[in-house]
Structure 1
Amino acid sequence: MGKLEQVDQLETYIDDLGKEIGKVKKASDYLKLIEKHQEEISKTSTSLIQTKDQLKLYQEIIESKLELFQTTAKNIEARQQAVEQTQFNIIANLAELKLQQEKDVKGINDSMNDVNKKVSKSQETLVGELTRIQEEQNKKLISQSKTNKIYFMVNTALIVILGVLVLF
């Protein structure tokens, strides 16, 4: 009977071994699942690291673009101030130029008025002098005309006297 006990015990051991094999098989399956899961986690981790690196790169790019934008904005602001200062200077220069032109126009008008007065005086003097010269020439012409008439009469008288003498 000892053998029967041993067979029972052996059957129990075999059942226990079968259960243990099933447990080991389940554990092996779990380990395979865990390894697959770890592999997927590793892939996901690698993917997340790549994504993190890409995000860092994007952040650096955005920061550099932001810095460029800020620099550009400062440059534009500086140029705007320079343009505004230039406009202010131009307006001031134009106002000064306008005042100078008004002074120049007034000066030119005063000079033209003086020139007109001098021209008028000179014209009056010239007209007066021309009138005086004309009167003197008229007097001389009348005087010469009288002298010519006298000479003409004297010549006519001499011709008549000669004609009378020649006839006699």
Structure 2
Amino acid sequence: MLRPALLFLAAAALMAGVLLLMGRGLICPCGYINLWAGADVGAEQSSQHLFDWYAPSHLIHGFAFYAGLWLLARRLPLDARFAIALLIEAAWELLENSAIIIERYRTVTVSSDYNGDSVVNSLADLLAMAAGFYLARILPVWLSVTLVIGFELLTAALIRDGLALNVLMLLWPLDAVLEWQQGL
């Protein structure tokens, strides 16, 4: 159990260092850290605290990475697959917080006030992915699939967004989806 923890700490330190070099704030500009930033999804502080409405998406990343790496690289040791998942998630956090993706979120999604994540929020996202990865390892497949569907339905119902909608709107924005997300 020590090796996965060390892999996580190494990935987290590397990702946090790069995010700081990119100019991301360590914590919310408001000067404090909330455990949950559950207020308005589009608010400036929504991705600045520890966990937010998108934490389930990162948990789903862990389920997906476990499944994908089991299918494509099951001969690799679990620690190697976990390291790959950590690198993919950390790379996504870096890309998600790049100027080009932040601007993309602002122009084609419901997140018009998105300013990127704080470093602590990105670290919590990495932790959520790691939890999803190890949950997928121990849970029956049917329960993992049920949880993924449940999280997607829950976030769609509560915030009109989720992993599938987020990816759709980033890659192929649809006016009808944007209008629904805006409550129009």
Per the normalisation by structure 1, the TM-score is 0.16
Structure with the higher fraction of residues in helix conformation: 1
Structure with higher Rg: it is 1
